[in-house]
C-alpha cells in the first residue's frame, strides 16, 4: 500500500470515529432532555397541565392513531390550511396587480407591506380566535394572512423585474396596460 493510501484510510477512520462520537453525544443530549422532562413531570416539578410528560404524549398519540381520530383531525386541519393558503395566494396576486396598476398606490403602501412582512403573523392567532371564534374561519383566516403578504411582495417584485424591452415591444405593438399585465407580467 502506498503512503497516500494509508493516510487516506487513517483520515477516513478518524472521520467515521468523529461522526460516530457526534451521534453518541447528540443521542445523550436527546435522551437526557426527555428523561429530565419525564422526571420533572412525574415529581410535579413542572405543571402537568401545561407540560405533559413524554410518556403521556406517546400514549395519547398511539391511542389517537388506533381509534382513527388523528387521521380525521389531520385531514380537517390540512383542508383548512390549504384553503387558507389558496385564499391568501389569490388575494396576494390580486393585491400585487392592484399595486402595479397605479404606481402611486404602491409607493403609499410599500412601507406598510414591509412592516406587515416583518411582523410575526402567528402573534395574530389569539386576536383572530377571539374575533372570529375557535372554528374553521379563524384557521383559514390565519393561513390567508400568513400567505397574502408574502405572496403580494413576491409577485409585485416579479412584476417590477420584467424585462423593460419586452414591455416596450408590447407597447409599440399597441398592447394596453391590461394586456401587458396579463401577457407580459403574469407570463413572466
Q: If you average pLDDT over every residue of the chain, what do you get?
A: 87
Question: How deeply is 5 buried, as exposed, middle or buried, from its count of CB atoms within 10 A (0-12, 13-18, 19+)?
Answer: exposed
Confidence of residue 169 (pLDDT cuts 50, 70, 90): low
- Could you tell me if 53 and 87 lie in one domain? no
This model's pTM is above 0.85: no
60-114 per-position pLDDT tens digit: 999 999 998 999 999 999 999 999 999 999 999 999 888 877 778 888 888 888 8
- Could you tell me if 90 and 158 lie in one domain? yes
**Domain carrying residue 13:** 3-67
- Could you tell me if 29 and 79 lie in one domain? no
Q: Residue 68 is placed in which grid cell?
A: 382513527
* Integer Cα distance of 131 and 137 in angstroms: 10
Distances (CA, A) of 116 to 72, 113, 144: 34, 5, 13
* Integer Cα distance of 40 and 82 in angstroms: 38
pLDDT of residue 90: 96
- Could you tell me if 98 and 22 lie in one domain? no
Residue 119: pLDDT over 80: yes
- Could you tell me if 96 and 34 lie in one domain? no
Mean pLDDT in residue range 178-185 = 66
Confidence of residue 1 (pLDDT cuts 50, 70, 90): low
Our count of domains for the chain comes to 2
pLDDT of residue 166: 67
pLDDT of residue 22: 96
- Could you tell me if 77 and 138 lie in one domain? yes
Last residue of a domain, one of 49, 67, 85: 67
Share of the chain above pLDDT 90, in %: 48
Confidence of residue 16 (pLDDT cuts 50, 70, 90): very high
Contact call for residues 141 and 84 (beta carbons, < 8 A): yes
Amino acid at each position: 500500500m502506498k503512503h497516500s493510501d494509508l493516510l487516506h484510510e487513517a483520515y477516513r477512520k478518524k472521520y467515521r470515529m468523529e461522526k460516530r462520537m457526534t451521534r453518541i453525544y447528540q443521542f445523550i443530549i436527546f435522551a437526557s432532555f426527555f428523561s429530565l422532562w419525564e422526571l420533572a413531570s412525574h415529581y410535579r416539578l413542572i405543571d402537568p397541565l401545561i407540560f405533559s410528560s413524554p410518556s403521556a404524549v406517546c400514549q395519547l398519540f398511539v391511542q389517537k392513531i388506533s381509534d382513527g381520530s388523528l387521521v380525521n383531525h389531520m385531514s380537517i386541519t390540512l383542508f383548512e390550511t390549504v384553503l387558507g393558503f389558496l385564499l391568501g395566494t389569490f388575494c396576494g396576486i390580486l393585491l400585487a396587480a392592484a399595486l402595479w396598476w397605479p404606481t402611486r398606490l404602491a409607493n403609499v403602501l410599500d412601507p406598510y407591506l414591509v412592516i406587515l412582512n416583518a411582523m410575526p403573523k402567528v402573534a395574530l392567532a389569539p386576536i383572530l380566535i377571539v374575533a372570529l371564534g375557535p372554528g374553521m374561519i379563524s384557521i383559514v383566516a390565519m393561513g390567508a394572512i400568513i400567505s397574502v403578504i408574502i405572496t403580494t411582495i413576491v409577485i409585485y417584485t416579479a412584476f417590477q423585474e420584467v424585462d423593460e424591452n419586452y414591455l416596450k415591444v408590447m407597447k409599440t405593438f399597441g398592447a394596453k396596460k391590461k394586456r401587458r399585465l396579463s401577457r407580459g407580467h403574469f407570463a413572466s
